[in-house]
Amino acid sequence: EALAVARAEGRATYLLTGLDGERRRLSATEAGALGERAARAVAHGRPALIGETILDPILPPLHLVVCGAGPDAAPLVAAAIRQGWRVDVVDPRRSWLRPERFPGARLLDAEPVDAAEATAAGEWTAVVIMSHDYLRDAAFMGSFLGRGVTYLGVLGPRDRTERLLAELPDPPADDLSVLHAPAGLDLGADGAEQVATSIVAEILAVLHGRSGGHLRDRPGPIHG
């Protein structure tokens, strides 16, 4: 029951199994405190051998929050849902939040400053800010920085994001480590569909602790 609750709430849970078959359920914080190898496993949601025990992750579907319901948001939502992710679209403009535009997503007409609270963003959440309105984007960014999300992507040029950050109180450096701006991998993407692909690819790379480079350049096995 506790595992089901953790998955429903979007929290990762870990099972630590000993040679005798005894199991302990740990939170991500508890699991990460078991040592460097465990911390790396928790960071990337992967199993690990810790001494004479096995640490197994039980991960919920990734929670993606799309901030802004403009035309380019629809391809991103569709691509995320194809991954099996749980998707929220947040925009204060209620008329933009039409179910036929975002099938399968939860639509929230929250104010940007309240977006993190409205979506219950946490450790297994990725956020993409794409309202294309400077003040709204600044408010969205301020809402999600400090929430411990896994990924925070911002559409638009790098210097625009730097100006957005300048609008906010100085965030801790740890918060900025999750910031990806411009959002997406360098695929030469052109158009909303391709940009959505590059963003989903970058989120997957971050989740798995990869750089998003060519598999042909990766030494050793391609899995693990």
Same domain, 102 and 152: yes
Same domain, 135 and 30: no
Q: What is the pLDDT of residue 201?
A: 97
Residue 218 falls inside a structural domain: no
Residue 224 falls inside a structural domain: no
Asked if pLDDT for residue 172 goes beyond 90, the answer is: no
Work out the average pLDDT over 102-120: 97
CATH code of residue 143: 3.40.50.720
Same domain, 94 and 176: yes
Same domain, 52 and 67: no
Residue 21 falls inside a structural domain: yes
Same domain, 96 and 147: yes
Residue 212 falls inside a structural domain: no
85, 93, 166: which is closest to 132 by C-alpha? Answer: 93
Whether the Cβ atoms of residue 77 and residue 66 lie closer than 8 Å to each other: yes
Q: What is the pLDDT of residue 115?
A: 98
C-alpha of 65 from chain center: 8
- Interatomic CA distance for residues 57 and 123, integer angstroms: 14
188, 184, 189, 192: which is closest to 212 by C-alpha? Answer: 184
Q: What is the pLDDT of residue 30?
A: 87
Asked if pLDDT for residue 102 goes beyond 90, the answer is: yes
Residue 194 falls inside a structural domain: yes
- Interatomic CA distance for residues 139 and 167, integer angstroms: 9
- Lowest-confidence region among 26-40, 103-117, 166-180: 166-180
Q: What is the pLDDT of residue 211?
A: 82
Same domain, 22 and 86: no
pLDDT digits (tens, 9 = 90+) for 42-96: 877 788 888 889 998 887 889 999 999 999 999 999 999 999 999 999 999 999 9
Residue 215 falls inside a structural domain: no
Same domain, 15 and 101: no
The pair of three-digit structure tokens given for residue 184, joined into one six-digit string: 């997406």
Same domain, 86 and 187: yes
Asked if pLDDT for residue 125 goes beyond 90, the answer is: yes
Q: What is the pLDDT of residue 83?
A: 95
Asked if pLDDT for residue 26 goes beyond 80, the answer is: yes
Same domain, 136 and 113: yes
pLDDT digits (tens, 9 = 90+) for 176-218: 889 999 999 999 988 999 999 999 999 999 988 888 877 777 7
Q: What is the pLDDT of residue 90?
A: 99
Which residues does 178 contact at the CB level (< 8 Å), separation at least 6?
A: 149, 150, 151, 152
14, 25, 8, 150: which is closest to 86 by C-alpha? Answer: 8
- Out of 33, 58, 83, a domain closes at 58
204, 211, 3, 222: which is closest to 84 by C-alpha? Answer: 204
Residue 7: which pLDDT band, with cuts at 50, 70 and 90? low
According to DSSP, residue 61 is labeled P
- Interatomic CA distance for residues 8 and 87, integer angstroms: 14
Q: Give the residue numbers spanning the domain of 52.
A: 2-58
Same domain, 49 and 104: no
In degrees, to the nearest 5, what angle opens at C-alpha 31 toward C-alphas 25 and 32?
A: 165
Whether the Cβ atoms of residue 89 and residue 107 lie closer than 8 Å to each other: yes
What total of structural domains would you count in the chain?
Answer: 2
Residue 198 falls inside a structural domain: yes
Same domain, 89 and 171: yes
Residue 9: which pLDDT band, with cuts at 50, 70 and 90? low
Same domain, 86 and 170: yes
Average pLDDT, the chain: 88
Asked if pLDDT for residue 104 goes beyond 90, the answer is: yes
